[in-house]
Amino acid sequence: MKHFTYPCVVALSFLGTAAIADPCVSATFDHPLEGATDVVSYVSDVPSAYFPAFWQEGIFDGFKYKMFATAEATVRPMNPNQDWVIALTCDTSEQACALANTGLPPADAIAVAQDIGQCLLGIENETVAPTLPVPPQQDLANTNETAETQALVIQDDITCGSASLNEATDVATMQRLLVMAGQDPGPVDGFLGPRTFLAMETFVTGANWGTSIAKVIALLDARLCEGAT
């Protein structure tokens, strides 16, 4: 795996008219996001479902960001005591992005997510913003309530956590447990990606491809099976 570090701000030039093209960081993600600092671009020697071919991370307007060649991104706070996260998923064919947040991100962070969405979609006109629907707080509450109900059902059945599942892989088992714990890892497909990492961070800070899946499963089992007899 190769990486390139950009320690200073690098400005990019944009045209004044709307145009759909490669992401503003280039198709290979080796151009820093305009206005970002501490930028590092990565390329996977052997792209796979587990490793997107290109991705980039850095600091933009006081927030940490990661953006992937899968047209996904995350925005996080610099302050480790703040626990909000914004997850962005864009559809280049529809030229729209969906935004999901954990916690209560500030308005400035949502603006950063909008800018990154424009970049991923290749929208060069800053007046054209992608669609970023923010899930209502009530929907998040309902999700948590559903997960708590699922956990209670598992406890009532005595068999709980991973012992109650029959997924094909450990990653799929972990994703299913994350859903049961009230998180959103994306599709339960056995593949690691930004949304799965975001859900994993509830239990392991800074979750990434090097995080032990067995460790996360054990933590989820402990949470879901608490009080089971």
Q: Report how far residue 93's alpha carbon sits from residue 198's, in angstroms, rounded to the nearest whole number.
A: 24
Average pLDDT over residues 169-191: 89
Cβ within 8 Å of residue 196, ≥6 positions away: 171, 174, 175, 178, 185, 186
Q: Report how far residue 226's alpha carbon sits from residue 18's, in angstroms, rounded to the nearest whole number.
A: 54
Cβ within 8 Å of residue 201, ≥6 positions away: 85, 207
Q: Which of 2-6, 169-173, 204-208 is predicted least confidently?
A: 2-6
The amino acid occupying position 142 is N
Using DSSP's 3-state secondary structure scheme, residue 199 falls into helix
pLDDT of residue 17: 37
Percent of the chain with pLDDT over 90: 18
The amino acid occupying position 81 is N
Per-residue pLDDT tens digits for 52-98: 678 889 999 999 999 888 888 999 999 988 888 999 888 888 888 88
Burial letters 112-124, b for 16+ CB under 10 A, else e: bbbbbbbbbbbbb
Per-residue pLDDT tens digits for 2-46: 444 433 222 222 333 344 578 898 888 888 999 999 999 888 766
pTM of the model: 0.50
Q: Report how far residue 92's alpha carbon sits from residue 120's, in angstroms, rounded to the nearest whole number.
A: 8
Beta carbons of 69 and 26 less than 8 angstroms apart: no
Within the chain, where are the H helices? 107-121, 137-156, 170-180, 194-200, 213-224
Question: How far from 159 is each of 3, 139, 215, CA to CA, in Å?
Answer: 45, 29, 20
Q: Report how far residue 143's alpha carbon sits from residue 127's, in angstroms, rounded to the nearest whole number.
A: 34
Residue with the bigger pLDDT between 161 and 37: it is 37
pLDDT band at 51 (very low <50, low <70, confident <90, very high): low
pLDDT of residue 150: 44
pLDDT at 49 over 60: no
| Nearest partner of 58 among 84, 72, 80, 76, judged by Cα | 76
Using DSSP's 3-state secondary structure scheme, residue 215 falls into helix
pLDDT of residue 44: 72
pLDDT band at 174 (very low <50, low <70, confident <90, very high): very high
Q: Which of 90-99, 140-149, 154-163, 209-218 is predicted least confidently?
A: 140-149
pLDDT at 151 over 70: no
